[in-house]
Structure 1
Amino acid sequence: MRNRPSRSAAYRAASALLVLLLAGSLAGCAALDPDAHADALAQPAHLQRETVDTGRFVLTAFSHISQPGKPLRVYIEGDGLAWLSRTEPSLDPTPRQAAGLALAAQDPAPNVVYLARPCQFTPMAMNPRCGIPYWTGKRFAPDVIASMNDAVNHFAALTPGQPVELVGYSGGGAVAVLIAARRTDVASIRTVAGNLDDEFVNRLHGVSPMPESENAIDFASRVAAIPQIHFSGADDETVPPSVAQRFIEAAGKQCARALTVPGMSHDGDWSRRWPALLSVAPACAIPASGQ
């Protein structure tokens, strides 16, 4: 006759099953709730949520600054849920899975800041200027870039005199370039699947141009002396590698590099690959002797 499990063993098994069910339920909630998902990404990396009032917008940030005497690395989110379909804009651009934050959470640097874009994560009641144009046609408008730059100023003040390293995902790559063009303390730029030529990308997909936005490629010459790497996914059909190549041609190859990552799509698991990609340091080429 088969022995029955003891009451205590049965209790432990039931408890373990309950824990698994609760964990699965919480994971499901995090997946459905963008804020919960963001907090779940940020907590293990000790990134603390806060808001920064720039006067134009109240921006949501996650930050971890432990050594003010070392460089500040700032991650900038992509466009988020800007559109529900090709023709229908979203009413809230908050990303359902914040790819830029996932990158920041993989960064072991002592001073890491993640900046959400205007109207992402922050309640609309705190942002009376928020409206659909600011995550569609005006998402790279001068007042948007000025607001993001003010947020960088806020955190740069916590690491006085230290260089700023910018990292941008997707549309955040364009924002990183546009911010760098306004600053004198930027030591490097890294972009991941960066939309560095929105006019070309919009034309590629047959969508409307954005005359009220600045185009990163138009500022390529102004950031040409900054060491930079632009990562593209070989399987990215949204922002194909040709976009980064166009930017490199405009910026010149002295300080700008484009690297294509095999097997990666636009919304692929960049964070899993990020520690290895982050180890590739941006650097300017040494001019040949006599030049």
Structure 2
Amino acid sequence: MATWSRFTPPVRTIHVYIEGDGFAWKSRTQPSDNPTPRNPTGLSLAAADVSSSVLYLARPCQFILPLPTHCTVNEWTTDRFSPEALRAMNEALDQIVRRYPGVKLDLTGYSGGGNMAALLAMRRSDVQSLRTVAGNLDVAWVNALHQVTPMPRALNAIDTASTLRTLPQIHYSGDQDNVVPTLVARRFQQAVGGHCTRVVVVPGMGHGSDWGAKWAGLSEDSGDRLTSGC
């Protein structure tokens, strides 16, 4: 798993960014030979973050050449939200936080990385906030929407969303997003319940738009949005 980071002591909080699904498919029926994203939006979000400590997590098998033998096509297609994929990402985070006892994590995930970020937040005690950008927080619903093959091994954040009821979180969605429409974020907000979850609809933004260029402005006011009412 590829990672990039910038840590400035003392490290008390780390902003963690999780990449999307990348170049998983060449077409609706043909998987790619390598999942490395052609337009790594998660990386552009991390690069736009001027915080003192930032960590970027690619998804399994992205940005790795040559691909190791265990990086089979299932890793970035049918199994990209599997328990094994989630465990690998959780272990990667564990390796980082061991260096900084007591550190807290602010998680941000793009697209399918939003699903992974939410799932990680459910399983960890060191996460203090969650943000998603065009987050696929209901994998089964989005697959059905686009009439693509179901993913029976996929962990789906919305199924256990109520466990995040007290976690401050914001879900950013573009009003031009036809891949993961805003309704996904609204459904997740309802499933979480409580008053700690906000949905922010960003005008003029589609799923693959330049979210990195917008991120400085969006994240600047997210602190007040996160804590308000929670």
Which runs of structure 2 are paired with 1:15-54 in the superposition (5 Å)?
none
Amino acid across the alignment from 2:186: Q
Query: Contact 2:107–2:127 (CA<8 Å) still a contact in 1?
Result: yes
Distance 1:284 1:133, change over 3 A: farther
1:120 maps onto 2:62 in alignment: yes
**Are residues 1:175 and 2:116 paired?**
yes
Instruction: Output one character per residue of 1:106-152: Cα deviation in whole Å (capped at 9) or x when no partner.
Output: 10111100000001012244x33211111111111011001001111
- The equivalent of 2:208 in structure 1 is 267
Unmatched tracts of structure 1, length 5 or more: 1-58, 287-291
Output the CA distance in 2 between the equivalents of 1:159 and 1:91.
Answer: 37
1:92 pairs, out of 34, 46, 57, with 34
State the TM-score, normalizing by the size of structure 1. 0.76
Does the 8 Å contact 1:93/1:135 carry over to 2? yes
> Where does residue 164 of structure 2 map in the other structure?
223
- 3-state SS of 2:51 partner: coil
How far apart in 1 are the matches of 2:61 and 2:152? 20
Aligned to 1:149, the other structure's residue is in SS state: helix
Q: Which has the larger radius of gyration?
A: 1
Q: CA deviation at 1:253?
A: 3.8
Q: Report sequence identity in percent.
A: 48
**Partner SS, residue 12 of structure 2:** coil
- Please report how far the alpha carbon of residue 278 of structure 1 lies from its aligned counterpart in structure 2 after TM superposition: 0.7
Q: Structure 1 residue 86: deviation in Å?
A: 0.9
The answer as to 2:137 corresponding to 1:196 is yes
Confirm or deny: 8 A CA contact 1:77 1:117 kept in the other structure. yes
- The Cα of 1:284 is off from its aligned counterpart by 5.5
How many matched pairs?
A: 227
Whether 2:229 is the aligned partner of 1:285: answer: yes
Listed as ranges, the gaps of 5+ residues in structure 2 are none
Q: TM-score, with normalisation over the residues of structure 2? A: 0.95
Choose between structure 1 and 2 for higher RCO, CA contacts under 8 A separated by at least 6 residues.
2
Determine helix, strand or coil for the equivalent of 1:181: helix
The structure 1 segments of at least 4 consecutive aligned residues displaced by more than 4 Å after TM superposition are none
1:102 corresponds to: 44
Q: Work out the CA distance in 2 between the residues paired with 1:115 and 1:131.
A: 19
Greater mean alpha carbon deviation, residues 60-69 or residues 263-272:
60-69
SS in 2 for 1:63: strand
Map 1:201-220 to 2 at 5 A: 201-220=142-161
Distance 1:217 1:62, change over 3 A: same
Q: Which one-letter code corresponds to 1:122 in the other structure?
A: I
